[in-house]
Amino acid sequence: MGSEGDSTSEGDSTSEGDSSSGDSSSGDTTTGDTTTGDTTTGDTTGDTSSSSDTTTGDGDLDPPAGQSSGGSGGGASAGSVEQAGNITYRLIAPGSAGPYPLLIVYSGVEGGANMTSNLSMVKDFVGAQDFVFAVLDGVTYNGNGAAGATVLDAVRALYDIDNDRTYLLSESAGTTAGLELGLQLRQSYFAGYWVNDVNANGAPMLSAAELGFQPYGNVGPGGDFVDANAIVAAMQAADYRTPPPAPYDGPGSDTHGDTNQFIAAMQWFPGKTRQ
């Protein structure tokens, strides 16, 4: 559903023709992601410094456990196109009061607009109706984890984000950027990271003991079982929590861009915490 060949994205009148998104593949029916090299056209030097929290907590963990970002000024959004410096992203946010869970998403080649549409369609069904979603185009920001760090800081400044319920989803063309952001640049920020329709592999820079908590991790192979197994093995070696099945082996695990695997990924996030 958030992936290449997704029939729910094709012909989406809210997505196609969005000239402000940087999406080059709206409604793309491609089933194999051929974008594995770094073709980044956006900011390659995004802010990788930690955002300052307005509350105090466990000083050994960045950001502090049991606290929130204290951000303010952001309102309800149904997929608006936003800017964080020179990084373009799409935003979904509820109108209720925080603290909110946050899911940072790198799309596949279907593009940020279609991914945002898909998230809007499934968020209530999977129990993520109170999430803030920030979606980066995985083609535009291929290999650019720093772009995600910039967006993470911007959203934390606009909304009161729960430090213990921040998550990362990367798909297909967004794999390399997600691996950089989630396993290196901002590893301590993410309670859980699901790598979907994987096309590369990587390993956590720090172990759970070094981080001060045990992150959750999983991979939706989308047919690439070699990379999926490598990522899960590296997460387990770093003492991540990887509840079975890891890698995911349910419906759609052997097909790139399968809706069932995307829904399984989205159902995996709610309830997970750094605590």
Report the CATH number that the domain containing residue 95 is assigned in CATH.
3.40.50.1820
Range of the domain at 121: 78-268
Domain assignment present for residue 41? The answer is no
In a domain, 67, yes or no: no
| Cα end-to-end distance, the chain, whole Å | 30
- Contact between 139 and 173 under an 8 Å Cβ cutoff? The reply is yes
pTM: 0.81
* Residue 20, domain member (yes or no): no
Task: Order the strands of the 161-171 sheet from edge to edge.
Answer: 77-84, 87-93, 132-136, 100-106, 161-171, 192-196, 216-220
Q: Per the domain annotation, does 34 fall within a domain?
A: no
Which band of pLDDT confidence, cut at 50, 70 and 90, is reported for residue 34?
Answer: very low
Q: Domain count for the chain, please give it.
A: 1
CA separation, residue 181 to residues 46, 60, 105, 125, 126 (Å): 11, 20, 11, 27, 24
Does a structural domain hold residue 99? yes
Instruction: Please check whether residue 1 lies inside any domain of the structure.
Output: no
> 5: pLDDT confidence band, cut at 50, 70 and 90?
very low
pLDDT at 103 over 50: yes
Say if residue 212's pLDDT is above 50.
Answer: yes
Residue 166 lies inside a defined structural domain of this protein = yes
- pLDDT over 60 (residue 14): no
Q: Residue 2: inside a domain, yes or no?
A: no
pLDDT at 21 over 70: no
The answer on pLDDT for 11 being more than 70 is no
pLDDT tens, position by position, 157-210: 999 999 999 999 999 999 999 999 999 999 999 999 999 999 999 999 999 999
Q: Where are the alpha helices (DSSP H) in the chain?
A: 112-122, 145-158, 175-180, 208-211, 225-237, 259-268
